[in-house]
Chain A
Amino acid sequence: MENMLTIRVIADVWERHLMTMRTIEHLHMFSIALMLSIMIGVSVGVFIYMRPKTADPVLNFLNIVETIPDLALIVLLLPILKLGAGPTIAACVLYSILPVARNTYTGLKGVDEQYTYVAHAIGLSPREALFKVRIPMSLPLIAGGIRIALVFCMGVVTLGGLVAAGGLGTVLQNGIQLYQKDAILVAGIWTGLLAVILDGFAGIIEKKLHERYGTW
């Protein structure tokens, strides 16, 4: 069983491919991408909610972006953003805006009219009603969107290895080019594990939000 993953093999691969550094790079890109996605996605969701006429065109456009294969999108962004983390982060954000924006929009629309009515009737301005009532009450759905974005981002960040973005994708890429099965396995499993852990974490937060803010 020469290919078996012993602790030794893992430690060896980990050291040779600088996987601590790669993991940090990976999570660094990932967190920047996710933060941007949340900020832009929530803003877009609120915007199309406030201007309902824009909702369909914007969501349709984001749907089209979604259909571009991820690798193609990264390559398309290369001439604009050059090599490095830029195109990868941009691709992550472009993919993740849709789930976040769509869930924000659906969440805001789904808030029972009676609460908005009461909010206005007791003297909240439209802005206060949005921030104190509608957005908090949509948090469980927004969190659901963010969770989808999180999984998207994990996948796209890994692809970044192909365009010299760094991160764990680089280890996989090297493993493939040098035909090192151990490296491919270790990096692959580790990347998958990270995604599962982060998703699980997001799932817990989502559940907490549901208990706290959910009314259904």
Chain B
Amino acid sequence: MQTERLFERIDSIHLEGITKKYGHGFAVKDLDLEIQGGELLILIGPSGSGKTTALRMINRMIEQDAGTVTINGINTKDADPVRLRRNMGYVIQNIGLFPHMTIGENIGLVPKLEGWDKERIKERVRTLLEFVSLPPDMFMDRYPRQLSGGQQQRVGLARAMAMDPPLFLMDEPFGALDPILRKQLQKEFLKIKNEINRTIVFVTHDIEEALVLGDRIAIMNQGELVQVGPPEELIFNPANELVADIVDTQRKFKHMDTLKVKDLMSPFDEKYVLEGRTETCDAVDVMTERDLETAFVFEGERLIGQVTMVELMKCRTRSQKLSDVARPVKIFQPTDSVAFALSEMKSTGEYLAIVMNSNDPIGILISDEVLLKLI
């Protein structure tokens, strides 16, 4: 079934007086919100604040009891839900790739239903996989269960982009990933976001994520909108205690000079360790299994560098060892000052460094995370 596109680009989305009852209470109560075309709007709030419900009313996965949602002036109630949803990319936390379809089939499902021919679908799938840094030849014919969590989430993103929708709805897409993986994917997502320049509504409960990604942030509580505005505005002019609490403004008074690396590092884990003599192709499998995007290469006790999944997947020649491809990594002492560490990292553009206590790795320093902890 081929469906005509409802809209090519988003000028604005208006939520007016949206209400959804839930038992005796309200999941969302009289919500007014405008989403501007081209922006990334974050919906954030404690659990039960109605942020996911609000998101799901945009693509009519939940129907509101009162109020209207209009996209470019079209009331969504008047639109065919299937057509509406095919015009939006949708990504959720548990991804939901269909286990009986290959990665290629998963991404190409809606194009296939839209009647695209085989060649065109294949071409599209390849482009999208390249776009999310998964080599198509390696991944197209695999099944979702053969992929790591991070890889699955990339495929989820590729699937959402299949029909080149002007609007993306993202429901805690990185919520289930471990912190380092999350940072890496956020960073890539930011890159993608800038490239595709689409309107995105993004639900999260992680304020750090919201501050990094959001053009504007809408804070919700108990089904109501508390404040909406750019990150700076929320930080410097919080509407009330709750907002201040969520963006945690007290933290900005912390003195960077007094903080040591050990205060802000993430603990080190054995899973980040790879042996220098491992072959690159094998390393990809190991990292997939351990759900890693970045790993540190050791030769015995000696640290020789770092490797990332994206780089490893590029070098396809057998017999290449990790020790040949590892890039240098910044090393800090736990007692180094954070200010020093950050300026060092900034000078080389690294966002990841390792913290060593004499010869033992004890922690990982992630620049974005450090900055956010400081705000």
- Which A positions have Cβ atoms within 8 angstroms of B? 114-115, 117-125, 128, 132-133, 136-137, 212-213, 215
For residue A115, which residues in chain B have a CB less than 8 angstroms away from its CB? 96, 98-99
Q: Can you list, as one digit per residue, whether each of B149-160 has a CB less than 8 Å from chain A (1) or not (0)?
A: 000000000011
Q: Can you list, as one digit per residue, whether each of B80-101 has a CB less than 8 Å from chain A (1) or not (0)?
A: 0011111110101010101110
A213 to B82, Cβ gap below 8 A? no
Q: Is B177 on the interface with A (CB-CB < 8 A)?
A: no
Cα distance A215–B99 when bound, in Å?
A: 7
For residue A213, which residues in chain B have a CB less than 8 angstroms away from its CB? 99-100
A122 to B109, Cβ gap below 8 A? yes
Q: Give the residue of A114, A120, A136, A137 whose beta carbon is less than 8 angstroms from that of B61.
A: A120
**Nearest residue, chain B, Cβ from A125:** B82
Residue among A118, A120, A121, A212 with the most chain B CB within 10 A? A121
Q: Is B113 on the interface with A (CB-CB < 8 A)?
A: yes
A-B contact pairs, 16 of them (CB 8 A): A114-B94, A115-B99, A118-B98, A120-B61, A121-B61, A122-B86, A123-B83, A123-B85, A123-B113, A124-B82, A124-B109, A125-B1, A128-B113, A133-B98, A137-B100, A212-B100
For residue B113, which residues in chain A have a CB less than 8 angstroms away from its CB? 123-124, 128, 132
Cα distance A34–B326 when bound, in Å?
A: 61
A132 to chain B, nearest CB (A): 7
B101-146 CB contacts (< 8 Å) to partner A:
109-110, 113
Cα distance A128–B111 when bound, in Å?
A: 13
B1-39 CB contacts (< 8 Å) to partner A:
1
A118 to B96, Cβ gap below 8 A? yes
For residue B82, which residues in chain A have a CB less than 8 angstroms away from its CB? 123-125
Residue among B87, B92, B160 with the most chain A CB within 10 A? B92
Total number of residue pairs linking A and B with CB closer than 8 Å:
56
A115-B98, A136-B100, A215-B99 given as contacts; is B61 within 8 A of A122 (CB)? no
For residue A128, which residues in chain B have a CB less than 8 angstroms away from its CB? 1, 113
A121 to B99, Cβ gap below 8 A? no
Cα distance A136–B109 when bound, in Å?
A: 14
Q: Is B68 on the interface with A (CB-CB < 8 A)?
A: no
Beyond known contacts A114-B94, A123-B83, A132-B113: 11 more, CB 8 A cutoff:
A114-B96, A115-B98, A117-B61, A118-B96, A122-B109, A123-B163, A128-B113, A137-B100, A213-B99, A213-B100, A215-B100
Cα distance A120–B84 when bound, in Å?
A: 11
For residue B86, which residues in chain A have a CB less than 8 angstroms away from its CB? 122-123
B96 to A120, Cβ gap below 8 A? no
For residue A133, which residues in chain B have a CB less than 8 angstroms away from its CB? 98
- Which B positions have Cβ atoms within 8 angstroms of A? 1, 59, 61, 82-88, 90, 92, 94, 96, 98-100, 109-110, 113, 159-160, 163
A117-B61, A118-B92 given as contacts; is B100 within 8 A of A123 (CB)? no
For residue B160, which residues in chain A have a CB less than 8 angstroms away from its CB? 122
Cα distance A132–B111 when bound, in Å?
A: 13
For residue A124, which residues in chain B have a CB less than 8 angstroms away from its CB? 82, 109-110, 113
Cα distance A136–B96 when bound, in Å?
A: 15
A128-B113, A132-B109 given as contacts; is B100 within 8 A of A121 (CB)? no
A55 to chain B, nearest CB (A): 24
For residue A215, which residues in chain B have a CB less than 8 angstroms away from its CB? 99-100
B214 to chain A, nearest CB (A): 22
Q: Give the residue of A114, A122, A136 whose beta carbon is less than 8 angstroms from that of B85.
A: A122
A120 to B85, Cβ gap below 8 A? yes
For residue B99, which residues in chain A have a CB less than 8 angstroms away from its CB? 115, 137, 213, 215
Cα distance A212–B145 when bound, in Å?
A: 11
A117-B61, A132-B109 given as contacts; is B100 within 8 A of A122 (CB)? no
A122 to B159, Cβ gap below 8 A? yes
Cα distance A213–B145 when bound, in Å?
A: 12
Shortest 8 CB-CB contacts between residues of A and residues of B: A118-B96, A123-B86, A123-B85, A213-B100, A215-B99, A121-B90, A125-B82, A136-B100
